[in-house]
Amino acid sequence: MIVPVYIHHYELEKICESDGEYAVCDNYYADHEYTIDDVEFDYGDLEGIVDRYLDDILEILQKNYKKKLNMLLKTNR
């Protein structure tokens, strides 16, 4: 799945050099791999993901988190 992500400035600093006036970035357009822990979604991105993959999310919740889901539904009545 490809989603828009925010890359922290320090990640760009790793691939860029600056002389005070200009910056040159190597591999700026290259693919970079990040783990889930490295990625932060903003609320709008999460809403879009849920809208697009709601059926899959519900299937996962029912399959793997049925007890927790039932407890949440009972307490929110």
**Residue 69 located in a structural domain:** yes
Q: Decide if 2 is inside a domain.
A: no
pLDDT value at residue 3: 61
Measured between alpha carbons, how far apart are the two ends of the chain, in Å?
35
Summarize pLDDT for 28-73 with one digit per residue, the tens: 666 667 777 877 777 888 888 899 999 999 999 999 999 998 998 8
Token pair of 77, please?
């009545």
| pTM, 2 dp | 0.47
> Based on the structure, what is the number of domains in the chain?
1
DSSP string covering 38-51, please?
Answer: G----HHHHHHHHH
Task: State which residues form the domain around 43.
Answer: 9-75
33 falls within a domain: yes
Q: For residue 13, tell me if it sits in a domain.
A: yes
- DSSP letter (8 states) at residue 29: T
